[in-house]
Amino acid sequence: MNFDTIIPRKGSGSIKWDRRPELDPFWVADMDFASPDCVLDAVRERIDHGVFGYANAHDGINEAITGYFAKRHGLTVPTGQIVHLGGLVVALSLIARAFLAKGEALMTCTPIYPPFLGVAHDAQAETIAVPHVNVDGKFTFDWDAMEQAVTDKTRVFLLCNPQNPLGRSFFKEEIIKVAEFCQRHDLVLVSDEIHCDLVFNEDVQPFFSALHLPENLRQKLIVLQAPSKTYNVAGLGYAFAVIENDSTRRKFNQAKGHTLPEINSIAFYTAEAAYRDGEPWRQELLAYLKKNRDTITDFVRNEMPYLSIPNIEATYLAWIDCSALGLDNPAVYLEKEAGLYLSDGAYFSSPQHIRFNYGCPHSRVLEGLAKIKAAFDKIKP
């Protein structure tokens, strides 16, 4: 796979490219790369079949997912614990409706992927947002602040691991501590692990899935996963939950009511192909993204030292602190001054930050960085 190839996306019905076509987009989390051949072949096979009636979760998807957990995470996940879904945010909303009543609350830590901050509304419930803290250059949990903020009406904790937008892949010890916090306060622990196959340097620190928690900490655990970020198939609409506890799974499923459309066969078959045959492509992707990550980290630190960027352990998203510039809104400034479309930190509950999506050809990363520098250098402190 040649990740350097520029595939024109403007006019292809892409949110990223067509929402603000006048801007150069580095915002929403999808990549500018074609999906692996195994995924494209799965789409072609479905098209050649020609019939698109209601789809069933066929054996192949369940086998591919259980095989993925066995090979990639060393875990045995029984098929009966897998709940297939048309997207991951859907699951966050179902969780809010299943486990929160009016006036109750969910807790999460910020900055965070924006829907985490919005889904409590679906249940007329509250969101308790506790900022992550930077300890010696690494963002982690503010354990004291979490203890102070939790209330007897709090029912759910939403964890994002790897963390979007901070790029952390949390240590085993941190995940255990989160789970103990949840157990102490009787919270459903939801672990969104959608970015877990985009972790760098796993030879040093392998990804720790919440499914690896000891049994006593897994009783109210929901793990959410999808092939969409890694294999760039977000537009096909597929995700799944792993819910070990029968009563938790039942409650989750009951919240669906009649609100969800059927999952389509292209989504099922492409997910199967990605999990079964996508690993060599994923390895190439990781090597490429790592180069982009190093470029952006070095560039920000050397060329724009007035900004700050944490070490990125996972994801293709760079979280950049622009507060030293004193701008009201750095993302809006970059739209006007540089014609760039980056994610605005305010939506993640951290104004003065921008999120740069480097899941694109290296040449585009360089162009984007040069435009940011030209715009920010005009006002640098």
Ligand X SMILES: Cc1ncc(COP(=O)(O)O)c(C=O)c1O
Which secondary structure element, helix H or strand E, spans residue 234, and what is its range?
none
Distances (CA, A) of 90 to 14, 187, 250, 305: 20, 20, 16, 39
Q: In 213-348, which ranges are E strands?
A: 221-225, 239-242, 317-321, 340-341, 343-344
Least separation in angstroms between CB 234 and ligand X: 5
Cβ atoms 26, 356 nearer than 8 A: yes
Non-local (6+) Cβ contacts of 168 within 8 A are 138, 139, 140, 161, 162, 310, 313, 314
Type of residue numbered 190: V
Residue 239: CB minimum distance to ligand X, A: 4
Nearest approach, Cβ of residue 112 and ligand X (Å): 8
Instruction: Map tokens 């066969």 to a residue.
Output: 265
Q: Cβ atoms within 10 A of the Cβ of 175, count?
A: 21
User: End-to-end alpha-carbon separation of the chain, Å?
Assistant: 42
Nearer to ligand X, 90 or 372 (CB): 90
Closer residue to ligand X in complex, CB, 117/375: 117
Least distance CB 223 / ligand X (angstroms):
12
Please name which of 282, 327, 343, 307 lies closest in space to residue 35, comparing C-alpha atoms.
Answer: 282
Closest separation between CB of residue 197 and ligand X, Å? Answer: 13
Closer to ligand X by CB, 226 or 372: give it: 226
Single-letter code of the amino acid located at 243? I
- How far CA 123 is from CA of 30, 100, 165, in Å, comes to 28, 6, 25
The beta strands (E) that lie in 119-225 are given as: 126-131, 133-135, 138-140, 154-160, 188-192, 221-225
Between 125 and 234, CB nearer to ligand X: 234
Q: How far is the CB of 163 from ligand X (least distance, A)?
A: 8
What radius of gyration, in Å, describes the C-alpha atoms of the chain? 21
| Of 275 and 299, CB closest to ligand X | 275
Integer CA distances (angstroms), 179 to 48, 239, 251, in order: 47, 23, 20
Shortest approach of ligand X to residue 66 CB, angstroms?
Answer: 20
Shortest Å distance, C-beta 87 to ligand X: 4
* Residue nearer to ligand X on the CB measure, 87 or 330: 87
| Interface ranges with ligand X (CB under 6 A) | 29, 87-89, 113, 160, 164, 192, 194, 226, 228, 234, 239
In the bound state with ligand X, the residue whose beta carbon lies nearer, of 9 and 373, is 9
89 vs 223 by CB, closer to ligand X: 89
